[in-house]
Amino acid sequence: MKHATDNLPELVHTVVDAHRHLRGPLLVILHELQERLGYIDADVVPLLAQELNLSRADVHGVVTFYRDFRSEPAGRTTVQLCRAEACQSVGAEQLMSALEQALGVKAGQTTPDGATTLDQVFCLGNCALGPSASINGRVYGLLNRDRLVELVRAEGS
Amino acid sequence: MITRTEFAMITVYVPRDSAAVSVGADEVAVAIEREAALSGTPIRLVRNGTRGMLWLEPLVEIETPAGRVGYGPVRADRVGDLVAAGLLDGGTDGRLSEVALGTVADLPWMRDQQRLCLARVGVTDPVSPDDYVRHGGLAGLRRALAMEPADVVAEVTESGLRGRGGAGFPAGIKWKTVAQAPGAQKFVCCNADEGDSGTFADRIVMEGDPFSLLEGMAIAGYAVGASEGYIYLRSEYPDAAAVTGAAIELARTRGWLGPNILGSGFDFDIHLRIGGGAYICGEETSMLESLEGKRGMVRAKPPIPAITGLFGKPTVVNNVLTLVSVPAVLADGGKAYAAMGIDRSRGTQVFQLAGNIARGGVFETAFGISLADLVNRYGGGTRSGRPVRAVQVGGPLGAYIPGSRLDLATGYEAFDAAGAMLGHGGIVVFDDTVDMAAMARFAFEFCAEESCGKCTPCRVGSVRGAEVIDRIVGGQDPDGNLALLGDLCELMTEGSLCAMGGLTPNPVRSALLHFPEDFSPRPEETTR
């Protein structure tokens, strides 16, 4: 599991410096910060604004626009279940209900013990072998309820 | 150079494509290496792209004197038995008969295609530059660099190649606009934000033959006078990012990218950028904003990106498949390319068969093949075995076409005339259990979720649309609410800033038109 660093300003400075030379580097920087921190801490916003000479509103606007950037840490296991049309045609909605019931949370939430985050995603590009889900970054196809619950439990244990 | 031991080695192919991996290809590859070692058979394992026959994944191929023979789908826990039965010798007897497919190139699915974009996908090692050149790579770029840039543009114009991202704008005209725009700095941007459900051709090409995209972008850069290219890839495709990133590094070491490419005096480099999980960034102006490090808010057009694009500079924005078609256009000439297809839909399209389909995958052929041929003849109908009720072509913003009307020729014009759109060539099949009112509602829900929020018809209309459909199926003043829904669709079509809000009425209206019975009030929802 990833932990917030003790010295956030230094981390932000290091990451910004590594990408400062790029054109329009903010998304690249945010991706790396999230990779390192697990989420984009609210305290990161003013630091980035200062480093990049942007307004805090600009940075906040970008962070909140993109689904990828989390405002709080995800669970130890992240499940992204595809809800787009191709997966719906082979039962994705029923799969989502089943998983919500099995985990006791709704899409977009993390279980109270911090074990699993359930997210919805619109298309993983595995549309011929749906229903699909990405579990901790790995895509699984041809899922059914039992297999999905088994995979989520196995990853979370 | 082939040494004696390598010559004796058996070459085994197990795809690294993420669709194949999603059903166990990595485990199959590990099992084959283990079983080969145990049986004392030296093998060379190549992790190729997918052949596109995704229902057969994991598809294992063995190189034999008679060609590559295939086995699929192969399960990791069966590999031991299959190797014992002679898998590595290309056998077909005994236990192998369940999964043996014969020579892969001779299968009807493979034989009947015209593969230009997919020529090397599944055949080569995606990150082997030598494989790339051995299978015809760089021929287009070499020919282009020997021509005047304006002649390259003319060749692309002559080919009739149109944008494969969905809008179908002629590539040559776009390139000409950028080439003639004043300014020393110009950009080539590849839109690889393949967010439409039912589309995965960009991903398959980038994971299976990434050099072809780099080659296409270099040709575009040379033609318009740009020295820098950006690939905007969605974050949902980490495997495509890894393969394409590796290919960019390799191409630089080979002198295919960077200063003075192929000794021509032309400089061109490519940067890979990852999106943030926003569907709207597949809209070209939103993508440009995102590349600049901003919120992906759609820009009003004009000015068009060809004049005022990335960082305000003239910019070519093309889809992956458009750019991947370019090396073939240049290698064989625009005339040869234009000889394929129907009407003003020239060349080939990579169709993607998806959803509830028995044999899903990618199928590249000249425009003109009928939807029925794709869905039934090659796709084998639904996976569930039930009748095809509806087919959605062109992603979440495309129209639903009833199963009884699949005798439609695939082409921009034919689809236009039928009130549908071809989009990126994705075909999602639904069986007769689908609830079309729910699908229409989902179109609004998706639009509400993914709208950038800049214009009111899209931002507010999408939310209102879902509510109106709820009222219709809930039996609240159905006639009045149906009229309201019609008005709302018209307003969104006419008043939205971009295709997101403008095309969301497509699935809604087509569902209403072809499946009105699904919108009648439901007993369980009227008694409240």
Instruction: Sort out which chain A residues have CB atoms less than 8 A from B350's CB and list them.
Output: none
| Per-residue pLDDT, B7 | 56
What is the value of ipTM here, to two decimals?
0.96
Distance to chain B for A33, nearest Cα, Å: 13
Q: Do A89 and B356 touch (CB under 8 A)?
A: yes
Instruction: Sort out which chain A residues have CB atoms less than 8 A from B439's CB and list them.
Output: 85, 88
B34 touches chain A (CB under 8 A): no
Instruction: Sort out which chain B residues have CB atoms less than 8 A from A140's CB and list them.
Output: 22-23
| Per-residue pLDDT, B522 | 80
Q: Do B276 and A66 touch (CB under 8 A)?
A: yes
Nearest CA in chain A to B361: A128
Q: Considering CB atoms only, which of B277, B291, B439 is closest to A24?
A: B291
Calpha distance B120→B210 (Å, rounded): 10
Q: Of B59, B117, B123, B48, which is closest to residue B87 (Cα–Cα)?
A: B59
> Token pair for residue A5?
């660093």
Calpha distance B183→B174 (Å, rounded): 16
Calpha distance B303→B326 (Å, rounded): 26
pTM over 0.90: yes
| Per-residue pLDDT, B461 | 98
Calpha distance B265→B145 (Å, rounded): 9
A77: helix, coil or strand?
strand
> Token pair for residue B455?
């214009």
| Per-residue pLDDT, A6 | 76
Q: Do A85 and B237 touch (CB under 8 A)?
A: no
DSSP string covering B180-192 = HS--S--EEEEEE
Cβ-Cβ pairs closer than 8 A, A with B, add up to: 151
Q: What are phi and psi of B408, to 5 degrees?
A: -105, 130
> Token pair for residue A49?
């604004």
Distance to chain B for A22, nearest Cα, Å: 10
Q: Of B355, B361, B343, which is closest to residue B395 (Cα–Cα)?
A: B355
| Per-residue pLDDT, B495 | 97
Q: Cβ contacts of residue B238 below 8 Å, gap of 6+?
A: A137
> Token pair for residue B386?
């039930």
A139 touches chain B (CB under 8 A): yes
Cβ atoms of residues A60 and A45 within 8 Å: yes
CA B129 vs CA B29, B137, B215, B468: distances in Å: 22, 9, 12, 55
Q: Do A27 and B194 touch (CB under 8 A)?
A: no
Residue ranges of chain B whose pLDDT lies below 70: 1-7, 524-528
- Average pLDDT over every residue of A118-126: 96
Calpha distance B249→B267 (Å, rounded): 15
Calpha distance B28→B78 (Å, rounded): 9
Calpha distance A48→A39 (Å, rounded): 14
DSSP strand pairing (B10-13 vs B43-46): parallel
Give A38-90 pLDDT, tens digit per residue: 999 999 999 999 999 999 999 999 999 999 999 999 999 999 999 999 999 99
Q: How far apart are the first and last CA of chain B?
A: 78
- Contacts of residues B379-387 at CB distance under 8 Å and 24 or more positions apart, as own/partner, are B379/B353, B379/B427, B379/B429, B381/B357, B381/B429, B382/B356, B382/B357, B382/B358, B382/B429, B382/B431, B383/A90, B383/B356, B383/B357, B383/B358, B384/A90, B384/B356, B384/B431, B384/B433, B385/B358, B386/B431, B386/B432, B386/B433, B387/B431, B387/B432
User: Could you say which residues from 10 to 69 on chain A have a Cβ atom under 8 Å away from some Cβ of chain B?
Assistant: 22-28, 30-31, 58, 61-62, 65-69
**How confident is residue A157, by pLDDT bands cut at 50, 70 and 90?**
low
Q: Do A122 and B450 touch (CB under 8 A)?
A: yes
Calpha distance B433→B429 (Å, rounded): 12
| Per-residue pLDDT, A156 | 72
B503-B506-B510 Cα angle (round to 5): 180
DSSP class of residue B382 equals -
The burial class, CB within 10 Å (0-12 / 13-18 / 19+), for B195 is buried
Nearest CA in chain A to B207: A125
Nearest CA in chain A to B397: A85
Distance to chain A for B392, nearest Cα, Å: 9
Q: Considering CB atoms only, which of B194, B278, B355 is closest to A86?
A: B355
Distance to chain B for A5, nearest Cα, Å: 23
Instruction: Sort out which chain B residues have CB atoms less than 8 A from A130's CB and list them.
Output: 354-355
Q: Considering CB atoms only, which of B273, B356, B439 is closest to A90?
A: B356
> Token pair for residue A3?
């932990």
| Per-residue pLDDT, B1 | 47
DSSP string covering A40-62 = --TTHHHHHHHHHT--HHHHHHH
Longest dimension (CA), chain B: 81
Using N-to-C axis directions, what is the helix angle for A145-156 and A92-103, rounded to 10°? 40
Q: Do A85 and B431 touch (CB under 8 A)?
A: no
> Token pair for residue A30?
């945010």
User: Could you say which residues from 95 to 154 on chain B have a Cβ atom under 8 Å away from some Cβ of chain A?
Assistant: none
Q: How far apart are the first and last CA of chain A?
A: 14
Cβ atoms of residues B19 and B50 within 8 Å: yes
Q: Do A127 and B237 touch (CB under 8 A)?
A: no
| Per-residue pLDDT, A2 | 46
Instruction: Sort out which chain B residues have CB atoms less than 8 A from A28's CB and list them.
Output: 273-274, 293
Instruction: Sort out which chain B residues have CB atoms less than 8 A from A40's CB and list them.
Output: none
Nearest CA in chain B to A65: B295
